[in-house]
Amino acid sequence: MLMKILSLLNRAANKVVRSTGWYGELWSGANKFWTFNTFNLEVVNLGSGAGVYAYNYFDSGIKGANWAIGPQSLVHDYN
């Protein structure tokens, strides 16, 4: 019973933390991979830094994805 209560508290705490600006700022680069569900892509760009902002396939007519992420902190490298 205690484990079930702790699990519910953990889920609630995670939901609160994930809705904060701090979380979005820290994990914004990785979030796009957690929700990514597009297949049969024509092009994918990888990289870091400028690649994050250089490519946007939204209105281009190309089925592509920008998988570039910005510079990572030590927390990202550890995880």
Rounded Cα gap, residues 36 and 65, in angstroms: 9
Longest dimension (CA), the chain: 53
pLDDT at 15: 92
User: Mind listing the pLDDT tens digit of every residue in the chain (79 residues)?
Assistant: 888 999 999 999 999 998 898 888 777 767 766 666 667 888 888 877 777 788 888 888 888 888 887 776 777 667 6
